[in-house]
Structure 1
Amino acid sequence: MTSPPPAARVVELATELDAELREIRRAIHANPELARMEHETTALLLDRLRRAGLDPRPLQGTGLVCDIGDDPREQGRRRVALRGDLDALPVPETTGLPYASRRSGVSHACGHDLHATAVLGAGLVLARLAEEGQLPVGVRLIFQPAEEVQPGGARDVLEQGAMDGVGEIYAVHAAPKIDCGLVGSRIGPITAASDNVTVRVSAAGGHTSRPHLTGDVVYALGHVITQLPAVLGRRLDPRAGANLTWGAVHAGQAFNTIPTSGSVTGTLRCLDEQTWERAGALVEEVVGDLLAPFDVAVELVHVRGMPPVVNDERSVHVIEAATREVVAEDAVVLTEQSLGGEDFAWYLTHVPGAMVRLGTRIPGGPAYDIHRGDLLIDERAIGVGVRVLARTAQLAGLRPSSPHAPVA
């Protein structure tokens, strides 16, 4: 263990990039792209990293990785990864900003434009530090596609070997209920497991005056909508926070016709990984039992999403220390475990690491929520994210290699 390089240099280099990174984030924000379609975003990031003298490598389809600093095998140290996600959501933007989405029905309503820009900025800072001999670790930037779909683009990144040789990984996530300048942190689970559940039912259909002559698809769906979450609430440990919430239901077009098919789809979330493992089989059992009396054919589609993000204790200490050094001594706040899902969890099944919540609320201003078209962020959060991620990589490089992930 050696003394860390000065934190002041990280702050200085990050500050120099503030104006440029704000414009880059606005460019990404104005041109949002859905999962696995992030071609323009990937090209923008590739170009900026190459202009910094780096050698980024595109992933298959979209996304990229970029290594910075010496090969860690030469130092007996780990390589640390920083992850940013690229995709937007099929949500219309309603902010009215001059750089609002130019693509109808698509927007960066989850802050991935912020995440990607913060990782880019951290990479540019770390590249300068490497030139100055102030980077005691190899760093890999991972710009990941398709975080917003199940089971998540992180699986694609892992399958392409982008984590080979990485011993630790870090990320930030926009938190519009936390003031800009604060970082929400937590040891252990910080998100929930999240799956997609769809139930499709079908029957012969017929006239609403003769429901006894056919399976009543709409009535059967109503039973699933109300009773499946209720049964899960009694069959699963309530301490696990299991929650099934429906997001869409489709059946029929005419008021006097029983349709031939219909479907309901939603998300199943669990705070506890063991309960998540049990829940799938239980959903299948309960759906079959609930619909058995209604003379309908049933198809259950249960798409496994991702486990909870479980932050490693030592990694949390590193990113909290970095935050206190480059933001403020009182900048770290405890955050609660969320029922939201995040495919960053898949990286943490391979190596230790941590994700923290990056405050984006304008202090004193309204609290927005993610996945809404009116989301506004305090753009000063970009610089906060850059400083935190860059300093975290520096400090992580001073730790002995993890026994869970030896250097390749």
Structure 2
Amino acid sequence: MEREALQALFPQMVEDRRYLHRHPELSFMERETSAFVEKRLRKLGIDTAAGIGGFGVVGKIRGTKPGKTVALRADMDALPIQDEKACEYASQIPGVMHACGHDGHTATLLAVAEYYGKRKHELAGEIRLIFQPAEEVCPGGAASMIEAGALDGVDVIYGVHLWTPIPAGTAGSAPGPLMASTDEFFIDIKGRGGHGGMPHKTIDSVLAGSALVLQLQSVVSRSVDPLNPAVLTIGSIQGGTAQNVIADRCRLAGTVRCFDEETRELIRARIHELAAGTADAYGAQAEIDYTAGYPCLVNDAAEFERFYRTAASEAGLIRELSAKIMPAEDFAYYLRKVPGCFMLVGAGNPGKGIVHPHHHPKFDIDENAMLHAAALLIAMADSYFADAEDLAE
């Protein structure tokens, strides 16, 4: 890796990240972000296709010699959160901000594109650049990009997430399961409304819904193997409009996170059983809308070992073995198709006041983390190409 050449790209990374931070776009609405990326890639002379699986953009940098194809991915979407930071690059779009670092991911991959674009003559193979929309909202953008051919011919894929829970200068990953699957559900409890002073004439949907919330808390603690991490959270309960009216309908909304399909299906079945049984016990009915979201993100063991070798020796980072985390990522879909590794790159820095968690209205990153992320992606790609050449000889 030519470290000085990569360092020279850092000011452009910062400029790109700050522009994108000022102009965030929500999932499935990344029209201007997509156009920004496409324009930059074409300016660099990179073979580029836009409108892939929605607002996705794919760039291809082909070397002068044949070889393997390495895909690198960045996500581009923002979140429906009001930016509360006091800085010159704060979001200019009311109620929308990059509160998860995707602006940094995009800026990082644009820098990597420029780095490899100037080194086509050194490549034996292809670098595939995947700029993905809609990571934040199911069904996500990864599956649609795969369906549109973004992974065709790809041998391995790498991705990074700028991660403020760990300090800048570090990077972490793990072999096998790293990030949880994510499902969401909505349960409508249907009762019979009436006067608050005459409860015996009603079927209280709020009472039945409240009982169901308590019952659902037993699923993980009493139905799931304690050695299998899992989360079932009720994030919303809505019912009624007035203090003296018994509501005829109550809605619960929640999420399920876990790391294996057997546990995932067990929890789903128990939710259906408890919803029907609890509602019936109160004379009500339950209707369930259950959506399976992203699968568990599972890193390839050999590619994790590549990360563990190169993070320190080639990218100059402090490497960590990450614990499993419950947030989900649709990068999981890519890893179901080809081997690869997803890596967490430290972006927190208490000395700079960068301490807020992801999805927080004051979220920010230590921008030096983008340089670290770019170095890691390049190190992983270079290592893969080198191993492929060795095997070919």
Q: Same fold (TM over 0.5)?
A: yes
CA drift at 1:363: 5.7
Structure 1 partner of 2:158: 170
SS of residue paired to 2:45: coil
Residue 228 of structure 1 pairs with residue 228 of structure 2: no
SS of residue paired to 1:190: strand
1:36-115 correspondence runs (5 A): 36-58=28-50, 59-70=52-63, 75=66, 77-115=67-105
CA contact (8 A) 1:233 1:242 kept: no
> Kindly tell me: are residues 246 and 148 of structure 1, through their superposed partners in 2, closer, same or farther at Cα, counting changes over 3 Å?
same
Which residue identity is paired with 1:30? R
Separation in structure 1 between the aligned mates of residue 161 and residue 310 of structure 2, nearest angstrom? 16
SS of residue paired to 1:174: strand
Per-residue deviation, residues 139-182 of structure 1 (Å, max 9, x unmatched): 11111111111232211111112111111111011210211111
Residue 29 of structure 1 pairs with residue 21 of structure 2: yes
Q: How many aligned positions are there?
A: 387
Separation in structure 2 between the aligned mates of residue 282 and residue 399 of structure 1, nearest angstrom? 47
Separation in structure 2 between the aligned mates of residue 45 and residue 230 of structure 1, nearest angstrom? 47
> Kindly tell me: are residues 94 and 60 of structure 1, through their superposed partners in 2, closer, same or farther at Cα, counting changes over 3 Å?
same
Which residue identity is paired with 1:385? A
Which residue identity is paired with 2:332? A
CA drift at 1:371: 1.2
Separation in structure 2 between the aligned mates of residue 354 and residue 60 of structure 1, nearest angstrom? 22
- Greater strand fraction, Structure 1 or Structure 2: 2
Separation in structure 2 between the aligned mates of residue 238 and residue 198 of structure 1, nearest angstrom? 26
2:322 is matched with which residue: 304, 324, 335?
Answer: 335
Which residue identity is paired with 1:101? S
CA contact (8 A) 1:83 1:143 kept: yes
Structure 1 partner of 2:349: 362
Separation in structure 2 between the aligned mates of residue 206 and residue 398 of structure 1, nearest angstrom? 73
Structure 2 partner of 1:347: 334
Structure 2 partner of 1:155: 143
SS of residue paired to 1:221: helix
Gaps of 5+ in 2: none
SS of residue paired to 2:58: strand
CA drift at 1:233: 2.1
Which residue identity is paired with 1:96? A
Separation in structure 2 between the aligned mates of residue 178 and residue 156 of structure 1, nearest angstrom? 31
Separation in structure 1 between the aligned mates of residue 114 and residue 203 of structure 2, nearest angstrom? 62
Separation in structure 1 between the aligned mates of residue 259 and residue 188 of structure 2, nearest angstrom? 27
Separation in structure 2 between the aligned mates of residue 102 and residue 296 of structure 1, nearest angstrom? 47
Which residue identity is paired with 1:154? A
Residue 266 of structure 1 pairs with residue 254 of structure 2: yes
Per-residue deviation, residues 272-329 of structure 1 (Å, max 9, x unmatched): 333123322222122112221122232111110122211112111223333224432x
Residue 312 of structure 1 pairs with residue 304 of structure 2: no
SS of residue paired to 2:140: coil
Separation in structure 2 between the aligned mates of residue 30 and residue 199 of structure 1, nearest angstrom? 38
Task: Indicate the larger mover: 335-344 or 313-322.
Answer: 313-322
> Kindly tell me: are residues 99 and 115 of structure 1, through their superposed partners in 2, closer, same or farther at Cα, counting changes over 3 Å?
same
CA drift at 1:106: 1.3
Separation in structure 1 between the aligned mates of residue 321 and residue 53 of structure 2, nearest angstrom? 37
Residue 300 of structure 1 pairs with residue 288 of structure 2: yes
CA contact (8 A) 1:229 1:243 kept: no
CA contact (8 A) 2:315 2:379 kept: no
TM-score by length of 1: 0.90
Residue 237 of structure 1 pairs with residue 225 of structure 2: yes
Separation in structure 1 between the aligned mates of residue 204 and residue 361 of structure 2, nearest angstrom? 37
Separation in structure 1 between the aligned mates of residue 352 and residue 22 of structure 2, nearest angstrom? 23
Separation in structure 2 between the aligned mates of residue 335 and residue 103 of structure 1, nearest angstrom? 35
Separation in structure 1 between the aligned mates of residue 4 and residue 261 of structure 2, nearest angstrom? 41
Q: Percent identity?
A: 35
CA drift at 1:225: 1.7
CA contact (8 A) 1:241 1:272 kept: no
CA contact (8 A) 2:53 2:147 kept: no
Gaps of 5+ in 1: 1-6, 402-408
2:118 is matched with which residue: 115, 120, 128?
Answer: 128
1:2-21 correspondence runs (5 A): 7=1, 9=2, 11-21=3-13
2:374 is matched with which residue: 366, 375, 386?
Answer: 386
SS of residue paired to 2:82: coil
